[in-house]
Amino acid sequence: MQWGQIKTLFILCFLLLDIYLLFLFIEKEKVDNLSTLDSPELSIEETLESENITISDDLPEDQPDEAYLSVRQKQFSDEETEMLMDLDNQVSEIISRNFIVSQFEDPIPIPEDSTNEEVSQIVQSNVLFAGEYAFESWNKELNIITFFQKKNDRTIYFNQNGLLLVYLNDDNEMIAYSQSLLDEQESNNEKRSLIEPLYAIGALYNDNLLYPGEEVTEVEIGYHTMLPLDNGIQVFVPTWKVTVNENRNHYVNASESIIFSNNEDEFIEEAINRSLEKVRTIEGKTELKESMVRILLEKYEEINNRSEEE
Q: What is the per-residue pLDDT for 213? A: 94
Q: What is the pLDDT of residues 201-211, one digit of tens each?
A: 999 999 999 99
The CATH T-level fold of domain 45-67+188-260 is Lipocalin (2.40.128)
What are the residue ranges of CATH 3.30.310.160 in the chain? 69-186+264-309
With a cut of 80, say whether residue 57 has pLDDT above it: no
Q: What is the per-residue pLDDT for 19? A: 56
Q: What is the per-residue pLDDT for 55? A: 92
User: Which pLDDT band, with edges at 50, 70 and 90, does 58 fall under?
Assistant: confident
Higher pLDDT, 236 or 261: 236
Cα angle value 110/114/115 (rounded, 5°): 135
Contact of 264 with 137, CB cutoff 8 Å: yes
The rounded distance, in Å, linking the Cα atoms of 88 and 11 is 100
Q: How far is CA 182 from CA 69, 76, 83, 236, 238, in A?
A: 11, 10, 18, 12, 16
C-alpha 102: how far from chain center: 26
Q: What is the per-residue pLDDT for 76? A: 95
User: Which pLDDT band, with edges at 50, 70 and 90, does 192 fall under?
Assistant: confident
Average pLDDT, the chain: 85
Q: What is the per-residue pLDDT for 228? A: 65
The rounded distance, in Å, linking the Cα atoms of 163 and 151 is 12
Q: What is the per-residue pLDDT for 304? A: 82
- Buried/exposed code over 70-107 (b: 16+ C-beta within 10 A; e: otherwise): ebbbbebeeebbeebeeeeebbbbbbeebbbbbbbeeb
The rounded distance, in Å, linking the Cα atoms of 56 and 53 is 10
Q: What is the pLDDT of residues 12-52, one digit of tens each?
A: 555 555 554 444 444 444 334 333 334 445 688 888 999 99
Segments in the chain forming alpha helices (H): 3-38, 44-50, 78-85, 116-124, 197-206, 264-279, 286-309
The rounded distance, in Å, linking the Cα atoms of 171 and 186 is 42
What are the residue ranges of CATH 2.40.128.690 in the chain? 45-67+188-260
Cα angle value 101/107/108 (rounded, 5°): 100
**Phi first, then psi: what are they for 34, rounded to 5°?**
-65, -40
Mean pLDDT throughout 293-300? 95
123 residue type, one letter: V
Q: What is the pLDDT of residues 257-273, one digit of tens each?
A: 889 988 888 999 999 99
Higher pLDDT, 306 or 71: 71
- Residues 197, 200, 205, 206, CA torsion sign: positive
H or E element, residue 67: strand 66-67
With a cut of 80, say whether residue 64 has pLDDT above it: yes
Q: How many helices (H) and strands (E) would you count in the chain?
A: 7, 16
Contact of 167 with 299, CB cutoff 8 Å: yes
C-alpha 144: how far from chain center: 18
Q: What is the pLDDT of residues 135-190, one digit of tens each?
A: 999 999 999 999 999 998 999 999 999 999 999 999 999 999 999 999 988 767 77
Contact of 272 with 300, CB cutoff 8 Å: yes
Q: Name the CATH architecture for the domain at 69-186+264-309.
A: 2-Layer Sandwich (3.30)
